[in-house]
Amino acid sequence: MMLRIKRVPTVVSNYQKEEAEEDRVGGCGRNCLRSCCIPGSKLPLYAYKKLDKVACAKGLPQHESGEAPIAFLDSLVLGQWEDRVQRGLFRYDVTACETKVIPGRYGFVAQLNEGRHLKKRPTEFRVDKVLQPFDENKFNFTKVGQEEVLFQFEASEDGDIQFFPSAPIDAENSPSVVAINVSPIEYGHVLLIPRILDCLPQRIDRESFLLALHMAAEAGNPYFRLGYNSLGAFATINHLHFQAYFLAVPFPIEKAPTKKVTTLDGGVKISELVNYPVRGLVLEGGNTMEHLSYAVSDACICLQDNNIPYNVLIADCGNRIFLLPQCYAEKQALGEVSAELLDTQVNPAVWEISGHMVLKRKKDYEEASEENAWRLLAEVSLSEERFQEVTALIFEAIASADNGSKDLNEEQEAKPEATDEVKAINNSSHPAIVAGTQECLVLQ
Amino acid sequence: MESQLGLIEQSLNSSYSLWVREALDEIPDNFTITDPCICGHPIVFVSRGFLKMTGYSKNEVIGKNGRVFQGPKTCRRSVMEVREAVREERAIQLNLLNYRKDGRPFWMLFHMCPVFSKEDGRVINFIAVQVPLSRKARRSGSVFCRNGVILSGEGSMINDVVYGSCRKEVRSDSLLELGPVLALDSALDSDVTELEIEEPCEASDLDKIRAASAINRVLSVLTHYSESTGRLVCGKRCYLSALGLLSSSLTISLGRIKQSFVLTDPHLPDMPIVYASDAFLKLTGYSGQEVLGHNCRFLNGEDTDSSTLYQIEESIKMEQACTVRILNYRKDKSSFWNSLHISPVRNASGKIAYFVGVHMEESCNDQGGRGLSPEMRQLSTVGAVKIAVRSSSMGAGSSKS
């Protein structure tokens, strides 16, 4: 059996046509990022300094000393984005969309966005395969116009931040680029597309995740977060990309209490979200940025290899990463999601899971409440039992990849203890959630 | 342009006179004073006790942001709580893991509070007191931490830290609705014997009192010395009287944007300036009081091109952005070519709330931009203002009062 859901795909580029119109062959003439248009083309280039966070391991604030006083990347994204606003490249003005913090303890954020999904017919998406091969015939980011690309983003050769307002596109080296999302859900909504010309499918690898982490660290703005949706967890384009935007309020998921599970050899602390509707892991710390990055990407690789859909939120300038396996699309395909929830047409991807709910109907916006948000997100979460299974898989994968194999035993010993404890906690808490969910299923 | 160090040096002197340092030096506690008005929110004063506790020298600390003392095992969630408290200009008390210069981590009770200007209610400084915590045996009935979740030993109350506030009233009522945390208390029953450094240690009531009284000592010195400069400060926010045109959270967010710009309110008669950045005041030579409440036309003079003014008017009428080159005049009557960009700015309801005018003197275009063109910097200011206005008007229902 193949699981599919129907949903309206998000239009991220002005060159993203209905699939039927897509097959235009030959001289393209729209200044895209394929071999037809690249020769002679130039784009700004931002080269980031490879942070040496090793010093942090000893608690020395080395990373601070070299920090640029002006948040350069931050300004670059803002300036370039506003430039595209004034050039009229977006489908709507996202700052004209009403938004509010929903009263309640967590401060869920609701936005009414009636325009984002108009003009599109629902398309079928296969949701039971997290890894699917890249399909040249479908829309991908090499087809966007160059005017939608803000800049190239790469590691600096000489270890210093560098910026070139106009640099040739080196097709041989397949640059990573930052492009606008023409259907933004907040100001500054961009896509980071690692090695765009390599046409990688939506699938995390160590190098690409590290790139995303660098972008979060370089921007240095805790309100500029990056997110990732796997296939089956509401990614609509099977071309490797991360998203990011500015929202200057804390996200509910960032406020959720956590409970430490273990600390890896490389200093990465792994905690579990407690008292949040979606079960998930929080990874932070690490002796170097690489330690943290590899721990997260190894966990992601484990999830995708095991065909478990997931979302990732990179918060706090790359210092805190939330990893959220989910099963909503699967439930949806199996007909297990209530009609009321489906009617809202909210696709619970990384932003929604983090507590930023983009609503399509005025009614839902006006009635938005912490309970409603909680109820939707509770459907997204794995069950406690499944979550513990998945967590066990992840720990196994990370532990075997963790460089210091000497602590492997310790790691494995620590794990069951933690798991038992979590179970003990949730044995008593879980029924409360379930009861609440069922009771609340009647939408006002 | 004044150097960062110059600004830091002046920060205390201008508010509290030269003599304040001596008085502060006599306070035995571990504390720092920061200035949120300076880019990067640096430390402008550090006590001897603090230096002794952390092993740093004074020069290594002054000018740094407080986060330099954090390290890999510092709880990021606590860091966020501190950041939100700074943003919302409120006091906060929590346990935090900091690092000494030699890299050794230590737990301390961190108590921070804002110092307000009596005149206009702006935050002048933050005082941050640190009381080092020693690891003691668990005492029943007191606040206790386990695995990053901080719980109270007494039934179902969540410690202040979890929900990021020092206010007692939020504690008791909030928990019962959301069952799962209750269960955590039972997890505590299985006794905890092994404590790692990551596991927060407890702050006793005595520690808390010690922190609060240190804050009071510093505050009273600052209050006293602010009388000598006439720039009175206090520990409680006074109402924004003269400058009460914007919400304080918006004023704070705008204060972080270092470019020269003004916000004008199209809904008020004659579209007056409701916010002017420090860089704008510096560029034009006026004081805040002289420009707030006035229409921008005071910048114009006899050689200002009226067709350019017409163009600006039309754009505002059409609610569109525009960029012009206009001859403007400073307070001292000297003129300059102003590369002016004007754009509508919407609030969280999606309505146009303000117009932002980003002013840039043409000859100064090369300063500090490190390769970003003046146009780009101008647009990035517009973007930053749009985000500030939108975010600060979203209404905060959550953990704030």
* CATH number reported for the structural domain that contains residue A293 in this entry: 3.30.428.70
Confidence of residue A293 (pLDDT cuts 50, 70, 90): very high
B13-45 pLDDT per residue, tens: 888 988 999 999 999 999 999 998 887 789 999
Q: Which of A286, A432, A433 sits opposite B72 (nearest CB)?
A: A286
Please, which residues have CB within 8 angstroms of residue A50's CB and are 6 or more apart in sequence? Answer: A155, A156, A159, A214
| Chain-chain contact of A104 with B397 (C-beta, under 8 angstroms) | yes
Residue A28 resides in a domain: no
Structure tokens at B160: 């202040």
d(CA A187, CA A249): 13
B56-69 pLDDT per residue, tens: 999 999 999 998 99
Residues of A in contact with B186 (CB under 8 A): 424-425, 428
Residues of A in contact with B97 (CB under 8 A): none
**Where along chain B do its domains lie?**
4-133+203-234, 248-392
pLDDT at B36: 86
Residue A216's Cβ-count burial label (10 Å; 0-12, 13-18, 19+) is: buried
Residue A114 resides in a domain: yes
Site from B315, B394, B399 to mutate, A interface, most A CB atoms within 10 angstroms: B394
Helix runs in A306-407, H state only: 328-333, 339-343, 350-354, 362-366, 370-380, 384-401
d(CA A179, CA A144): 9
Separation of CA B23 from chain center: 25
Residue of chain B whose alpha carbon sits nearest to that of A224: B387
More confident residue, B388 or A401: B388
Residues of A in contact with B90 (CB under 8 A): none
B186 pLDDT higher than 70: no
Q: Which of A96, A254, A271 sits opposite B148 (nearest CB)?
A: A271
| Chain-chain contact of B394 with A255 (C-beta, under 8 angstroms) | no
d(CA A15, CA A122): 18
pLDDT at A412: 42
The mean pLDDT value for A206-234 works out to: 96
B190-207 pLDDT per residue, tens: 333 334 566 667 788 999
Helix runs in A42-190, H state only: 62-65, 72-86
A383 inside 8 A of chain B by CB: no
d(CA A219, CA A290): 18
d(CA B148, CA B162): 9
Domain count for chain A, please give it: 1
Confidence of residue B212 (pLDDT cuts 50, 70, 90): very high
Residue of chain A whose alpha carbon sits nearest to that of B377: A79
Q: Across the A/B interface, how many CB contacts are shorter than 8 Å?
A: 224
The mean pLDDT value for A340-355 works out to: 91
Residue A33 resides in a domain: no
Worst-scoring range by mean pLDDT, A188-202, B92-106, B161-175, B193-207? Answer: B161-175
d(CA B368, CA B366): 7
Confidence of residue B300 (pLDDT cuts 50, 70, 90): very high
The mean pLDDT value for A312-330 works out to: 95
B395 pLDDT higher than 70: yes
d(CA B25, CA B52): 13
d(CA A70, CA A168): 26
Q: What residue type is B22 in one-letter code?
A: E
Total Cβ atoms within 10 A of residue A57: 19
HEC string for B272-303: CEEEECHHHHHHHCCCHHHHCCCCHHHHCCCC
Q: Which of B158, B377, B386 sits opposite A187 (nearest CB)?
A: B386
Residue A85 resides in a domain: yes
Range B248-392 has CATH code 3.30.450.20: yes
The mean pLDDT value for B66-79 works out to: 89
| Chain-chain contact of B39 with A72 (C-beta, under 8 angstroms) | no
Q: What is the extent of the structural domain holding A255?
A: 39-440
| Chain-chain contact of A60 with B99 (C-beta, under 8 angstroms) | yes
CA pseudo-torsion sign A370, A371, A374, A375: negative
Minimum distance, in Å, between the CA of residue A30 and any CA atom of chain B: 25
Structure tokens at A374: 């909680």
B253 pLDDT higher than 90: no
Residue of chain B whose alpha carbon sits nearest to that of A273: B149
Between β-strands A109-112 and B322-329, what pairing exists: parallel, antiparallel or unpaired? unpaired
A250 inside 8 A of chain B by CB: yes
A188 inside 8 A of chain B by CB: yes
Residues of B in contact with A105 (CB under 8 A): 163, 174, 178, 398-399
A275 inside 8 A of chain B by CB: yes
Between positions 229 and 248 of A, the ones with CB within 8 A of B are 246-248
Residue A8 resides in a domain: no
A288 inside 8 A of chain B by CB: no
**Topology adopted by domain B4-133+203-234:** Beta-Lactamase (3.30.450)
Q: What is the mean pLDDT of chain A?
A: 83
A319 inside 8 A of chain B by CB: yes
| Chain-chain contact of B72 with A275 (C-beta, under 8 angstroms) | no
Residues of A in contact with B397 (CB under 8 A): 101-104, 107
| Chain-chain contact of B180 with A250 (C-beta, under 8 angstroms) | no
Catalytically annotated residue among A214, A241, A291, A356: A241
A88-125 pLDDT per residue, tens: 999 999 999 999 999 999 999 999 998 777 666 777 88
B302-346 pLDDT per residue, tens: 999 999 999 999 999 999 999 999 999 999 999 999 999 999 999
d(CA B160, CA B151): 9
Residue A258 resides in a domain: yes
A153-163 pLDDT per residue, tens: 999 877 788 89
Q: How long a stretch of residues is chain B?
A: 401
The mean pLDDT value for B150-163 works out to: 36
Residues of A in contact with B182 (CB under 8 A): 428-429
Residue A32 resides in a domain: no
Residue A2 resides in a domain: no
| Chain-chain contact of B184 with A274 (C-beta, under 8 angstroms) | yes
Site from B194, B358, B386 to mutate, A interface, most A CB atoms within 10 angstroms: B386
List phi, psi (to 5°) of B309: -65, -40
pLDDT at B55: 95
Q: Among this protein's residues, is A241 annotated catalytic?
A: yes
Q: Please determine whether the domains at B4-133+203-234 and B248-392 fall in the same fold group of CATH.
A: yes
More confident residue, B187 or A98: A98
List phi, psi (to 5°) of A21: -80, -5
The answer to whether the CB of B245 falls within 8 A of the CB of B275 is yes
| Chain-chain contact of B149 with A81 (C-beta, under 8 angstroms) | no
Q: How would you label A330-352 residue by residue, b for 16+ Cβ within 10 Å and e otherwise?
A: bbbbeeebeeebeebebbbbbbb
Q: Which of B68, B253, B382 sits opposite A248 (nearest CB)?
A: B253
Q: What is the mean pLDDT of chain B?
A: 81
| Chain-chain contact of A269 with B380 (C-beta, under 8 angstroms) | no
Structure tokens at A125: 């998406």
A318 inside 8 A of chain B by CB: no
| Chain-chain contact of A320 with B76 (C-beta, under 8 angstroms) | yes
Q: Which of B178, B379, B394 sits opposite A100 (nearest CB)?
A: B394
